[in-house]
Structure 1
Amino acid sequence: MELPELESLPKGRMLGVLVVKTKEGALGYLSAYSGELQAELEIMPFVPPVYQLPKGENFPEMVQINSISTEVRTLEESEGYISTKIELQQILKETEVNILEAKKKAKIAKEKRDELRKKADGLPENERKYQLDELNRQGAHDGMDLRRYIRSENLRREKAKEVVREIENRIDGLKVLRREKSGKLQEAIFESFVFMNNLGERKNALEVFNDFGVEVPPAGAGECAAPKLFQYAFQHLMTPIALAEFWWGPSPNSEIREHGKFYPACKGKCQPILAHMLKGIQVKPNPLLENFGEDKDLEILFEDEHLVIVNKPSGMLSVSGRYIKDSVQTRVQQLYPKATGPMIVHRLDQDTSGIMIVALNKASHKRLQQQFLERSIQKTYMAILEKPIHKSSGVIELPLILDINNRPMQMVSYKHGKPALTHYEVVEEAALRTLIKLRPVTGRSHQLRVHCAHKLGLHAPIVGDNLYGTPEKRLCLHAQQIKFSHPVTGETIHIKTDLPFSL
């Protein structure tokens, strides 16, 4: 299959190829794209969608929703609504100033009456009583006038608010109606996405995701390449043999996607669907169920009664997982059965090797954790990048956020991401790879891996990165050094290890 030129595609997208065996026993392949159809791709031999969404006049529900949206926009942009909002703001400011001024005048009048009361003490009794009665009458009258004036100003406010409120209530009502219609439409669409599997079972998107513990499927569920490929294969009595998905086109600004590189199906949208569609098909064992650290030793680099520093091997979990209990945490618990408290102060990714500090009591854990929060602990990582970067040193600042549709992967988001800062320094360069020193200031999940791989970072994935680069025997990322203050003695602790890989 010959794909279009990169420049001719309006944006990058995931493409998929499924090797199949026909009912006659011949080998062949199917191809698919992720997302909605684009005119530039209609000429390509892609399998059809699992469910073809109607468009235009064939989509009356959407026409109604669009009509409501137009009405909402017309109201929100109308001169009447805009002018009443402006008038309301003016009235709110005016009445606030007027009420404050009236209260100020009333206060001055009261102070004058209080002065006259004091002077009345030297008058004859009859005159003093008359003047005090007159001052009290005047005070009561002024108080009544102030309250009446405040009520009138507040009423003026409420009338102005009511004019705006009438329009906003209408807008809100239309939005509620639109939301209800959108919800019903989305539910109908999900019911129309019916997925098959090799056992002849059929389930719609709602049923598939409900079985997975998800009440409402994410938008776009069923429109990825993998479900389209398997659906077409099952419909035509083909046996799936092997699947590959890859990115074609320009890289997006958020996720890490490189032209021509292979990536697994996303978890948020595809995992529940594929769990159903792959029933009855022999697949590779789930790597999440395999303990890659089982036959590896946990090296002790430093220990005392307060903490232990270990050298975690690649493949070992930092803490126990859902399926695998063996971890740095459980190993240390076995070695130090009297240890108390949370113990784990910081973590390393399963595929990352290197130095980890483990506290042996609550007090040490709290003080060490405080050092991490204050960013006074200095960590140095070594990594090998997939390619030369032609830079000797620098700083990477890319805010990161969890990709909720593809956990545990992270993506860059300047709007919602948390700040992430990394200093880097090239140690050695080869023709095709780079040995680099990384010093993270912040400690975001997958920070170093994303900062290296993202096009706005070094644009060079770490060797062996099965999430953001190309899988190999191991991830070439190692926490080589750490420097911190002992939580009890205050002594500076500086630990360094040998690299478990070379350029």
Structure 2
Amino acid sequence: MVYLTTNEQDLLPDSFEYPHFYTPIAIAKKAALDLQNRLKQNLPELVDQPTGRMFGVLVVQPKGGGLGYLSAYSGELQPELEILPFVPPVHKLPKGEDFPEMAAINAINKEVIALEESDAFISAEQQLKKIAEETKENILAAKKAAKKSKFERDRLRKESIHLPEKERQKLLEDLSNQGANEGMDLRRFTRSENLRLEKAINVYGKFHERIEMLKTQRKTKSIELQEAIFKSFIFLNGEGEGKNVKTVFTDFGVNEPPAGAGECAAPKLFQYAFQQGMKPMALAEFWWGPPPNSEIREHGKFYPACKGKCRPILAHMLKGVSVKPNPLLENFGAGKKLEVLFEDEHLVVVNKPAGMLSVPGRHIKDSVKARILEKYPNANGPMIVHRLDQDTSGIMIVALSKKAHKLLQQQFLDRTIHKTYFAILEKPIEETSGKIELPLVLDIHNRPMQMVHYEHGRPALTLYEVIQKTANQTLIKLNPITGRSHQLRVHCAHQLGLHAPIVGDNLYGTPSERLFLHSREVEFVHPMTNKPMKIRTEIPFTI
């Protein structure tokens, strides 16, 4: 633990911040800054690595009093980093033969490798391949020869019609006997070749069967090893209760813990604090080093604990700790007006305020759809043609009938609806206009965040034009050609995009009083009248 000197400004919280959506408090930032200075002094090479990693600090009150912080990094134990006082892993992964199952797996691996690299197995495999090719070619050649011979016999039969009857009958009998003999010869030859192939298969099969049996045993032992690791991978919580990693996830409704569960910084920090009888006060996690290719991470920036791996674990570990409620369960749209920009019997165009949901959520029912249903109780069908993120403000089109919805949705599918957004970026950018093409896919370990993935991502295209720049920010116009989730936010923030997060982006940038992203204008064709429509709002922010 590193002790902290405090002053009047370093107020300690009454409750712990919700770890998956928060801004670090001043004392946590102070601890993080101290760790960052230590990283610069003692591990400067980290910023030159191919990719960085998450670090975390946990401000704690030890038993003897005072205030200090613990530090940790995400991932497996890295001896080269241990020159700084990082907390140990929650559980050291087994090495060598720490578990009986590991010894059995190692023995099986050696036998499999020995068999697969043995001269006898390699020879049997090569011989089988050679004989398989030879027998296939030989049988095919014999069938072709038999077919050619039959064709010749058929020709002689046809021409025999001009021969004297006795001579003709003798020829036909000879041709019939010849055909029967050649048929028997072909069958004998085919059986002989297949027998030769079968012998080669049997020789190879004995090796293959043994190898497959060993691999099955290895798989069984690996499952047993995983279960043994799960049982010894114990997480403590604020009530002094310990649970193994498998139970933690199954209690949370997840059947199997994901790879790397428990190796993030936050679980390591809480584990050590509870083991030493320390009281957790505040958490801060930050990225250090170059960003990864897929996720959006900026050197030195703070990020909340991940959800896929850490939420089940921290839900258990923080029992017994006073934690603030999840702010995402708060209705930020409450009391805000939903302005109607256009309406008729077929559709409504509204100006959604920042903080309001487009559709009802699991915990919050207030939304654009709920408000429209309240105002237009006779509306039917899916209604919502497209959505805006909760934090995004601006124009939304809502259909009041199934037919209108279907026709509007087709315009979106055909990409004939044109939308224009305005945003303020965290920094000035050099470009004045251009396009961003980065395929996007859901980050399954950190929902609802998206990440760039060239293999599995869906194509996403955004056109942009810089409107105004200052020394610190950029006002930009964005035209999404596709409509992927979080498309504009990721395309602005990602290093391969504009590399400038939108101001107030609590997922991909730095939280603020709001997300400075606004859907300003939409152009479409009225689904029932075929009249071109162009609707615009005022931008609710300035640079």
Q: TM-score w.r.t. structure 1 length?
A: 0.87
**In the TM superposition, what are the counterparts of 1:59-458 in structure 2 within 5 Å?**
61-62=101-102, 64-66=104-106, 68-69=108-109, 71-73=111-113, 88=128, 92-93=132-133, 95-109=135-149, 145-146=185-186, 149-155=189-195, 157-458=197-498
2: CA distance, partners of 1:199 / 1:132 = 101
Change (3 A) 1:77 1:388: farther
Question: Per-residue CA shift, 1:78-108, capped at 9, x if unaligned?
Answer: 6665665566555555555555555555555
1: CA distance, partners of 2:541 / 2:493 = 19
Contact 2:380 2:402 in 1 (8 A): yes
Contact 2:99 2:225 in 1 (8 A): no
1: CA distance, partners of 2:439 / 2:231 = 37
Amino acid across the alignment from 2:39: P
2: CA distance, partners of 1:74 / 1:382 = 64
Judge which range, 159-168 or 260-269, deviates more: 159-168
Change (3 A) 1:132 1:170: same
1: CA distance, partners of 2:117 / 2:522 = 58
1:242 CA displacement: 1.2
Q: Secondary structure at the match of 1:46?
A: coil
Query: Which one of the candidate residues 73, 78, 93 is aligned to 1:38?
Result: 78
Judge which range, 298-307 or 118-127, deviates more: 118-127
Q: Which has the higher contact order (CA 8 A, sep 6+)?
A: 2
Q: Secondary structure at the match of 1:340?
A: coil
1:431 CA displacement: 0.7
Judge which range, 354-363 or 404-413, deviates more: 354-363
Name the structure 2 match of 1:48. 88
1:274 CA displacement: 0.9
Name the structure 1 match of 2:56. 16
Name the structure 2 match of 1:469. 509
2: CA distance, partners of 1:429 / 1:259 = 24
Amino acid across the alignment from 2:295: E
Runs of 5+ consecutive residues of structure 1 not aligned to the other structure = none
Judge which range, 154-163 or 414-423, deviates more: 154-163
Q: Secondary structure at the match of 2:534?
A: strand
1:403 CA displacement: 2.1
1:266 CA displacement: 1.0
2: CA distance, partners of 1:91 / 1:486 = 71
Q: Secondary structure at the match of 1:382?
A: strand
1:271 CA displacement: 0.7
Contact 1:422 1:441 in 2 (8 A): yes
Question: Per-residue CA shift, 1:298-321, capped at 9, x if unaligned?
Answer: 333344444433333222222222
Amino acid across the alignment from 2:386: H
Q: Secondary structure at the match of 1:416?
A: coil
Q: Secondary structure at the match of 1:187?
A: helix
Runs of 5+ consecutive residues of structure 2 not aligned to the other structure = 1-33
1:167 CA displacement: 4.0
1: CA distance, partners of 2:447 / 2:539 = 29
Q: TM-score w.r.t. structure 2 length?
A: 0.81
Question: Per-residue CA shift, 1:424-449, capped at 9, x if unaligned?
Answer: 32222111111222233333322222
2: CA distance, partners of 1:480 / 1:151 = 79
1:452 CA displacement: 1.8
Contact 1:344 1:359 in 2 (8 A): yes
Question: Per-residue CA shift, 1:234-266, capped at 9, x if unaligned?
Answer: 223222211111112222222222111111111
Contact 1:384 1:435 in 2 (8 A): yes
State whether structure 2 residue 38 is matched by structure 1 residue 3.
yes
Amino acid across the alignment from 1:381: Y
1: CA distance, partners of 2:514 / 2:165 = 103
Paired residue total:
503
Q: Secondary structure at the match of 1:30?
A: strand
Contact 1:401 1:413 in 2 (8 A): yes
RMSD over equivalenced CA pairs, Å: 3.3
Judge which range, 403-412 or 481-490, deviates more: 481-490
2: CA distance, partners of 1:155 / 1:270 = 60
Contact 2:101 2:224 in 1 (8 A): no
1:196 CA displacement: 2.0
Q: Secondary structure at the match of 2:341?
A: strand
Name the structure 1 match of 2:24. none
Judge which range, 168-177 or 184-193, deviates more: 168-177
Q: Secondary structure at the match of 1:19?
A: strand
Question: Per-residue CA shift, 1:347-391, capped at 9, x if unaligned?
Answer: 322222233333334444444444434444433332221112211
Change (3 A) 1:392 1:168: farther
2: CA distance, partners of 1:88 / 1:239 = 68
Judge which range, 96-105 or 122-131, deviates more: 122-131
Contact 1:288 1:323 in 2 (8 A): no
1:23 CA displacement: 3.4
Q: Secondary structure at the match of 2:519?
A: strand
1: CA distance, partners of 2:507 / 2:520 = 22
Change (3 A) 1:81 1:126: same
1: CA distance, partners of 2:314 / 2:350 = 39
Change (3 A) 1:291 1:157: farther
Judge which range, 200-209 or 164-173, deviates more: 164-173
2: CA distance, partners of 1:147 / 1:360 = 76
1: CA distance, partners of 2:188 / 2:89 = 70
Amino acid across the alignment from 2:270: F
2: CA distance, partners of 1:458 / 1:393 = 11
Contact 1:84 1:164 in 2 (8 A): yes
Amino acid across the alignment from 1:423: L
Contact 1:402 1:409 in 2 (8 A): yes
Change (3 A) 1:172 1:438: farther
1: CA distance, partners of 2:526 / 2:164 = 84
